[in-house]
Structures are given as structure tokens and as C-alpha cells.
A = this chain, B = another copy of it.
Amino acid sequence: MATRTRRGSAKRAAGPAGGTSGSDRRDELLGIAAALFATRGYAETTVRDIADEAGILSGSLYHHFSSKEAMLDEILRGFLTDLLDRFNRIEREFEDPRQALDELIAASFQSISTTPHAVALYQNQVDTLLRQPGFEYVGECSRQVEKAWLRVLLAGQKAGVFREDVDMNLMYRFIRDTVWSTVRWYRPRGKYKPEAVAKQYLDVLYGGLLTS
């Protein structure tokens, strides 16, 4: 009967007890899950896959997390709040629009470099997540991030730094897509450092591709 299911959705398997070892194990499992979700896709990853990688049985995962979805949630929430925090701080600290844009882009590339799985996961699942009950905060955060980009771009236009004849709604999307799509091919161990990638992009973005 549904009772079981419903009761199951309560706050079992709550949070870290405060100590370290408990939380450590959680984080470890979360890391494994993030990697699998990111590379195989959420739906295509089974809890068995995660458990196997962790060296335990699939049922044992439920000692730490109440559901597969809860793991996804925890990963995303961490990534999104982190990102939002950084964006907010940048807007507060940098008044110059061009410098602010530099920083937003640098921060994004940084995210990709440090937590590539969460970024990829977000990239691949946004569309699905937006329609998912319980994941409303994803849309909310996305909107706030969008506003941050737009504020900086429009401020730059107002200040006469960025061209007047550019539709910033499109521009925001162009920049966002380029930056975040990087996660699909960027390899931290490859020949490019994150700063180098950021530099190259900013270079062309600001100066254009043509020889002047």
C-alpha cells in the first residue's frame, strides 16, 4: 500500500551527524554518483552502478540517502548555491562592467575545472529538471544567474564599454552557452589551463576574430 512509500519520503537518512567520518562517506558516495550521473546520464545510471563503484550493495546506499533523486538533489543544490554565491560576490566587488564580465567568465571556467561533474550534470539535465517537482530551485537559481549576467552586460552597454548594437539577451545566451559547453570537452589534465581557455575566449569576445 502507498503508506510505505509515503512514509519513506520522510526525513530518514538525514544529514551528517556533525562528526567527520559520517559526512566523509556521504561526500565520497556523492562524488561517485556525480561522476556517473555526469558521464552516463542520470536515468542511465543505476543505483547499482553507484554502489558497485563504492564497493557496497545497492541497498546500502539507502542508509545514507533516501533515494536516487535525493542524491541528484544534493549534488545540484551544492553546485548551484555555490555558483550563485560567487556570482553575487563578484557583482558586489567589481563595479567596472568589463572587469565584472571577466570575473564571471573566469568563475565559470573555474567551476568547470574544479567540479566538472556537477556542471556537466546540470548542463545535461536542466531541461528535464525544470519540469520536475522538488527541483523548482533549479529554475530559480538559473533565473538569478541569468539576471546577474544581464545586469553586467547592460551596465557595460550603458557605460559605453560594450557595443550599443548588440542584443544583450542574445549575447548573454551566446556567452553562457560557450562558457558552460566547455565542460563537454575540457579536460583538466589536458594541454589547456582553465585560465588559458578563459583568456582565449575573452580575447576573441572583446576584440573579434578578424584582423583589424
Interface residues of A (CB under 8 A from B): 1-4, 39-44, 69, 72, 98, 124, 127-128, 131-134, 160-167, 170-171, 173-174, 177-178, 181-182, 184-185, 192, 197, 200-201, 203-211
Contacts and interface: CB of A to CB of B under 8 A. Distances in A.
A205 B208 contact: yes
A192 B170 contact: yes
Nearest to A12: B48
B205 A204 contact: yes
A120 to B, nearest CB: 9
Contact of A133 (B2, B162, B181): B2
Contact of A209 (B42, B72, B171): B171
Contacts of A69: 1-2
A2 B128 contact: no
Contacts of A167: 200
A42 B3 CA distance: 13
A44 B206 contact: no
A27 to B, nearest CB: 22
Contact of A162 (B4, B131, B185, B211): B211
Given A42-B1, A128-B44, A132-B2, A197 B209 contact: no
Contacts of A210: 98, 161-163, 206-207
A42 B40 CA distance: 12
A170 to B, nearest CB: 5
**Residue of A124, A173, A182, A209 with most partner-chain B CB within 10 A:** A209
A186 to B, nearest CB: 9
